[in-house]
Amino acid sequence: MPLKPILIAGGGIGGLATALALAQKGIASLVLEKASALGEIGAGIQLGPNAFHSFDRLGVGEAARAMAVYIDQLRLMDALTGAEITHIDLGETFRKRFGNPYAVVHRGDLHGVLLKACRDNPDIELRVKSDVTGYGQDGGGITAHLATGERVEGAALIGADGLWSNVRRQLVGDGAPRVSGHTTYRSVIPTEQMPEDLRWNAATLWAGPKCHIVHYPLSGWKVFNLVVTHHNAAAEPVAGKPVPDAEVHSAFAHVSERAQTIIRHGVDWKMWVLCDREPVERWTDGRVALLGDAAHPMLQYMAQGACMAMEDAVCLAQTLADHPGRIEAGLEAYRTRRLLRTTRVQLMSRAMGEHVYHPEGPHAALRNAIMSAKSQDEWYETLDWLYGGSGLD
Ligand SMILES: Cc1cc2nc3c(=O)[nH]c(=O)nc-3n(C[C@H](O)[C@H](O)[C@H](O)COP(=O)(O)OP(=O)(O)OC[C@H]3O[C@@H](n4cnc5c(N)ncnc54)[C@H](O)[C@@H]3O)c2cc1C
C-alpha cells in the first residue's frame, strides 16, 4: 500500500466509485472536488446489469438495489405514429442471462449511496472547494495543483473531473469537447399527472425526426422522469439552463398527439446541449490517468456514461492491486483493458442517435423494419457484449 494517498480529481459518480473501489483493495485515496458540496444535478439515470456487477465490487450492492425501480421493458415507440416499434423484456429471462437486473434510479440517490459508503470508509478522505487546475510529477509521486495555489501530494492522480476535465486538458490537450448540436430538456412530473395509458413500468423511448422522448418511473413510482431531445444544431454547450415550456413544446410540434401529451405535462424544464469527444488512446501520463467522462465522454443514447465510469473504477483498482508498487504499470494495464470497450460505447452512442432515435423518411422506415423483426433472443444476443460481462473479470 502506498504511503501517500491516490488523489482523485472530481467527486461525481466516477470519482466516488474510484475511491470506493480503491478502498476495497486497501488503497487510501483523497477526493478533491471543485464544488462547495458533493452532489448530483438532474433526475433519473438508467442502469444496465453491468452497473450492478460494479455495485457489488464497490461493496454497495445491497444499498444500490434498495433504491432502484426495476422496470419490465425497454420500449421503443414511433413518435410520428404513436405505435410501438419494438420492446426488450427485462424480466426473469433477461436477469438470468445477464446475471443482474435493469433499473432506473434517481441520480441523487445513486450519488448518495456512493457518498455514504465513502464517508463511512476510513481509507477515503473527501475535500470540497478543491479545484484541480493541473499537476506535476517526478519519479516518486504526483502533485495536484489547486486553483488556490495549494499543492497536494499523492502517489497518483486520477482525473475523474468530467467532460471539461482540467486533468485531460494537460494530459491530452485536445481542446473543448465536440458540441453535438443535440439539445436535451429535462423535467420531472408527479406520477398522477402522467397520462394514465402511458404509466408503463418501462423505460419508454419515442423516436421521431430529429427528436426523441424518454420517460420512466422514478423514486418508488412517485414521479416520472422526462428527458426530451431535439437535434436543432445548437452551436454552444449549455448545462442545466432553465427554459420556458413554449420552447420545448415548439420543438415537438411535429410528433403525434400521444407523444406531445407527455411533453405538455412537463414543468420547470432545464436544458443541456450535449457534447462528447472523439475516442483517444492517451489516457495516462506516468502516474496520472483519466476516468469516466474525463476519459471517454459520450452522448446519452446508450445510457451508459455512469455505468462505464463505475466499471472504470473497479478495473482501475484491480489493475493497481495487480501491480503492487508499480503504479505506472497498473495505470497502463487499466487503460489497455478499458480502451476498446469504452470506445465502442462512445461510438455506438453516436450511431444510435443517428440511426435509431432521430431518422426520418425511409431511414426511419428501415429502422422500424429492422428493429421490429427482432425476437427477444436476438435482442439479448445483440446486447450480450455490453451487459453479459463488464470487462472486469
Ligand atoms: C441527458 C443525460 C442522460 C444520461 N443518462 C445516463 C444514463 O441513463 N445512464 C448512464 O449510465 N449515464 C447517463 N448519462 C451519463 C452520465 O451522467 C455521466 O457519464 C456520468 O455522470 C459521468 O460521471 P463522472 O464522474 O465521470 O463525471 P461527472 O458526473 O461530470 O463528475 C465530475 C465531477 O468533477 C468535478 N470537477 C469538475 N472539474 C473539477 C476540477 N477542476 N477539480 C475538481 N473537481 C472537478 C465536478 O464538479 C463533478 O463533481 C447521461 C448523461 C446525460 C447528459
Rounded Cα–Cα distance for residues 173 and 280 (Å):
11
Residue ranges in the chain whose pLDDT is less than 50? 1-2
Q: Give the distance (Å) from ligand 1 centre to CA of residue 13.
A: 7
The atom of ligand 1 lying closest to the CA of 161 is 34
Rounded Cα–Cα distance for residues 29 and 5 (Å):
5
Q: What is the pLDDT of residue 393?
A: 65
- pTM strictly above 0.85: yes
C-alpha cell at 257: 398527439
Q: What amino acid is encoded at 188 in this protein? A: V
Q: What is the pLDDT of residue 278?
A: 96
Using only C-alpha atoms, the chain has a radius of gyration, in whole angstroms, of 21
Pocket test for ligand 1, best of 7, 13, 105 (most atoms within 8 A of CB): 13
Q: Give the distance (Å) from ligand 1 centre to CA of residue 306.
A: 7
**Pocket of ligand 1 contains residue 303 by CB under 6 Å:** yes
Strands of the chain, DSSP E: 6-9, 29-32, 44-47, 69-70, 73-78, 84-89, 103-106, 124-127, 132-138, 141-146, 151-154, 156-159, 178-190, 202-208, 211-218, 223-231, 238-242, 270-276, 284-285, 288-290
The atom of ligand 1 lying closest to the CA of 306 is 11
**Pocket of ligand 1 contains residue 14 by CB under 6 Å:** yes
CB 111 within 8 A of CB 11: no
Q: What amino acid is encoded at 146 in this protein? A: L
**Pocket of ligand 1 contains residue 206 by CB under 6 Å:** no
Non-local (6+) Cβ contacts of 368 within 8 A are 78, 85
Q: What is the pLDDT of residue 40?
A: 81
**Pocket of ligand 1 contains residue 15 by CB under 6 Å:** yes
**Pocket of ligand 1 contains residue 38 by CB under 6 Å:** no
**Pocket of ligand 1 contains residue 208 by CB under 6 Å:** no
The H or E element that residue 319 is part of is helix 305-322
The Cα-based distances of 38 to 17, 45, 221, 242 in angstroms read: 13, 18, 26, 22
Pocket test for ligand 1, best of 29, 30, 32, 34 (most atoms within 8 A of CB): 34
Q: What is the pLDDT of residue 140?
A: 84
Alpha carbon nearest to ligand 1 atom 1, residue = 300
Q: What is the pLDDT of residue 41?
A: 77
Q: Give the distance (Å) from ligand 1 centre to CA of residue 12.
A: 6
Q: Give the distance (Å) from ligand 1 centre to CA of residue 46.
A: 14
Q: What is the pLDDT of residue 281?
A: 97
Q: Give the distance (Å) from ligand 1 centre to CA of residue 375.
A: 34
Q: Give the distance (Å) from ligand 1 centre to CA of residue 260.
A: 29
**Pocket of ligand 1 contains residue 297 by CB under 6 Å:** no
Rounded Cα–Cα distance for residues 95 and 160 (Å):
30
Rounded Cα–Cα distance for residues 368 and 160 (Å):
38
**Pocket of ligand 1 contains residue 309 by CB under 6 Å:** yes
Alpha carbon nearest to ligand 1 atom 9, residue = 303
Pocket test for ligand 1, best of 225, 300, 348, 349 (most atoms within 8 A of CB): 300
Pocket test for ligand 1, best of 30, 32, 52, 161 (most atoms within 8 A of CB): 161
